[in-house]
Structures are given as C-alpha cells and as structure tokens.
C-alpha cells in the first residue's frame, strides 16, 4: 500500500488549541509558528511540563515566548513536574541549562495561572462544545494522560490530537530505539494511543528530513523582526549538538512539524496504522512499534507521518514567524 496523505484534512479551518509543551528551542519555533497564524489557530492555553528541562524553566520559557510574540493574553499553566511513573530524563545537553539558550530574552512580566495544567485541560474540554478542541502535543504527553485518567468523560470531547512523538524508520534520538518525548513518559503515550481518538503523529521519520541549514536559519533573521532574530539565535544554539551527532548540513527541526501539518497537510505523506509503545523492554523501552506495513492486522489507531517537503515546510514557518513583532 503506497503512503498517502490523510483524506479530508486539506481545508484549513481555525482550530482551538491546547498546547502541551516543554520548550526547548524547536518547540519555541513551533509556538511562534502557531502565534504567527491567528487566522488558523486560537490558542486556549499553554500547559508546561517537565521534559527537555525542569518545570520551573519550561514554565518560564512559555511566558518568555508569549511576551516575545506580543501575546501576553494567552494563559500559561504549570503541569506535572515528573512523568507518570518514572524519574525525569532531561535534554540539557541539547537545549542548555535554561532549555531556551541562545537569545537574550528578558525575565517575563506576565505570570502563570494558579490553576494546575491538568485541571485546565479537564475544565476546558468539559466547558467547550464536544469536538471543538485540538490537542497540540509538542512535549511528553504526561498532562494529557493524567487528565484522561482523572476525568475519562473528557476523552470523547477531544476533536483530535496532533503530536510530535515517536520514531520507527529513524529509530531513536535519546536511546538507540526511542524518541525523546515517548521515552520520557512512555506510560503517558500508551494511555493516549489507547484512547480511541483521532491521532496524528509527527515522528523522527519526518522531522529528521526538516533540516535547518544555514540559509534557512538566516531567513528568520532576514525577516527583520525580533521573533525572527530570536528564532535564528535559538536554533543556532540548539543545532550544534545535532550537527556534531549526525554530520548533516542542518539539524532536524522537530516541533514546528505539528503546526505545519495542521496548516498544510498536503506537504506531508503517511498512512494510518497500528502504533504501540514498548513499556518494559530492556533495550527498547519507550520505542514506538509501528505496523506500517500492515503485518499484524491490529486496529489502526494513528496516522503516522513518514515524509514531507522540507522547502515548503520552511517557507510556511518562516512566513508565519514573519507575522510576529
């Protein structure tokens, strides 16, 4: 069966989003892409989690990004400080000690909300019309899985989940077999993948094709706005690790694949298939096992994006960030 784009996703509509995030420079670029397209996205709130760095930093990084983009009106919530059942694994070696090293972003004046992020997810899904809220997953899925466990009535109220998670053909980036977001909290990923919801996954299989060459990074600064310059500075910092690791002409740019898919699904290819998470493997803990070739006959539970048009991708996110201050 040839790879195909998901049918019916070709017409852009304004989406109400809850963003799950632990920024992280690539997630910063994803958030700025979303904020640069208010015609396409209504952001209901950002829920910070521990992941790339500890919760104190990821929470502050969310606030910094909203101020950078001129959107202090969007609420930010602190979520879980730890995965559901495991010790926290972080990625300071990639993102630096603050998680957002690179640009000199000022201490934010805006403050996070007092409400816990999990409670915000539950309350929002209960109060909005059923099928109106999309979950934008940029981080480990801890907060969403906790919300589903605490309030199972909210599960069918979700419109869909679009998440950067997993790897199969590209294998792992934190272990030989596991992608970081899934490895940090595989139990959370398992809960979400068993939810029965419409799920689209943007794994390393596609994000590794979206390489931030020097020319693509320079294009952000050439926009002439503060958000573009900050994006260049952030990604220039974080790419150093991956350039050394892979020896490619540019580092993978993971996070923006999520909003890019929602904005332009036609530039991506993949197929619906069965996806499971390994929870106990000695060598494969946190691995996403993908029945891409339809071997097992198991029920399909996710649309797995395998490839995309990198030039169209960078045009899209650069244009979006160009709309910001």
Domains detected in the chain:
15-321 (3.90.245.10)
Cα 123 from Cα 118, distance rounded (Å): 9
Q: Please tell me the predicted confidence (pLDDT) of residue 43.
A: 98
Q: Please tell me the predicted confidence (pLDDT) of residue 10.
A: 42
List the structure tokens of 193: 């993948």
Residue holding tokens 């000199």?
A: 104
Written as tens digits, the pLDDT of the chain (325 aa) is 334 555 444 455 799 999 999 999 999 999 999 999 999 999 999 999 998 889 999 999 999 999 999 999 999 999 999 999 999 998 787 888 888 989 999 999 999 999 999 999 999 999 999 999 999 999 999 999 999 999 999 999 999 999 999 999 999 999 999 999 999 999 999 999 999 999 999 999 999 999 999 999 999 999 999 999 999 999 999 888 888 889 999 999 999 999 999 999 999 999 999 999 999 999 999 999 999 999 999 999 999 999 999 999 999 999 999 999 9
Cα 43 from Cα 73, distance rounded (Å): 10
CB atoms within 10 A of CB 247: 7
Per the residue annotation, which of 57, 95, 208, 254 is the catalytic one?
A: 254
Inter-residue contact 121 to 144 (CB < 8 Å):
yes
Residue holding tokens 């521990």?
A: 50
Inter-residue contact 91 to 52 (CB < 8 Å):
yes
Cα 2 from Cα 30, distance rounded (Å): 29
Q: Please tell me the predicted confidence (pLDDT) of residue 13.
A: 78
Specify the 3-state DSSP secondary structure of 67.
Answer: helix
Closest CA to 166 of 200, 135, 133, 136: 200
- Is 254 labeled as catalytic in the residue annotation? yes
Beta strands 158-163 and 288-290: pairing type? unpaired
Q: Please tell me the predicted confidence (pLDDT) of residue 181.
A: 97
Render 131-175 in DSSP notation, one character per residue: T-EEEEE-S-SHHHHHHHHH-GGGGGGEEEEEE----SSS--SSS
- 247's CB contacts (< 8 A; 6+ apart) are none
Closest CA to 165 of 318, 297, 22: 22
Cα 186 from Cα 54, distance rounded (Å): 18
Q: Please tell me the predicted confidence (pLDDT) of residue 244.
A: 86
Q: Please tell me the predicted confidence (pLDDT) of residue 8.
A: 45
List the structure tokens of 177: 């077999």
Q: Please tell me the predicted confidence (pLDDT) of residue 5.
A: 53
Q: Please tell me the predicted confidence (pLDDT) of residue 6.
A: 54
Q: In angstroms, what CA-CA distances link 304 with 23, 82, 179, 222?
A: 23, 27, 14, 34
Cα 60 from Cα 206, distance rounded (Å): 29
Inter-residue contact 309 to 199 (CB < 8 Å):
no
């Amino acid at each position: 069966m040839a790879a195909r784009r998901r049918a019916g996703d070709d017409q852009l509509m304004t989406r109400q989003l809850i963003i799950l995030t632990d920024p992280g420079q690539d997630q910063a670029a994803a958030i700025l892409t979303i904020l640069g397209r208010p015609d396409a996205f209504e952001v209901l709130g950002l829920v910070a989690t521990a992941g790339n760095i500890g919760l104190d930093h990821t929470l502050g990084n969310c606030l910094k990004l909203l101020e950078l983009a001129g959107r202090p009106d969007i609420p930010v919530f602190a979520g879980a400080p730890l995965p559901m059942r495991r010790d926290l694994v972080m990625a300071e070696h990639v993102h630096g000690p603050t998680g957002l090293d690179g640009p000199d972003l000022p201490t934010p004046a805006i403050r996070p909300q007092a409400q816990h992020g999990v409670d915000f997810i539950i309350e929002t899904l209960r109060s909005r019309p059923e099928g109106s809220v999309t979950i934008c997953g940029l981080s480990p899925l801890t907060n969403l899985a906790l919300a589903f466990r605490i309030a199972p009535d909210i599960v069918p109220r979700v419109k869909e989940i679009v998440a950067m998670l997993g790897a199969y053909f590209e294998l792992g980036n934190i272990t030989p077999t596991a992608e970081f977001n899934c490895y940090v909290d595989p139990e959370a990923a398992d809960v979400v993948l068993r939810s029965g919801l419409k799920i689209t996954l943007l794994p390393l299989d596609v994000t590794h094709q979206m390489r931030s060459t020097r020319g693509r990074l320079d294009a952000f600064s050439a926009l002439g706005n503060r958000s573009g310059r900050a994006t260049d500075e952030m990604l220039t910092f974080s790419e150093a690790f991956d350039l050394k690791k892979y020896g490619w002409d540019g580092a993978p740019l993971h996070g923006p694949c999520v909003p890019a898919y929602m904005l332009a699904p036609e530039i991506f290819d993949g197929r619906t298939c069965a996806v499971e998470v390994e929870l106990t493997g000695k060598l494969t803990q946190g691995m996403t096992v993908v029945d891409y070739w339809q071997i097992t006959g198991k029920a399909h539970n996710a649309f797995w994006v395998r490839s995309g048009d990198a030039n169209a991708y960078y045009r899209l996110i650069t244009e979006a960030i160009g709309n910001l201050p």
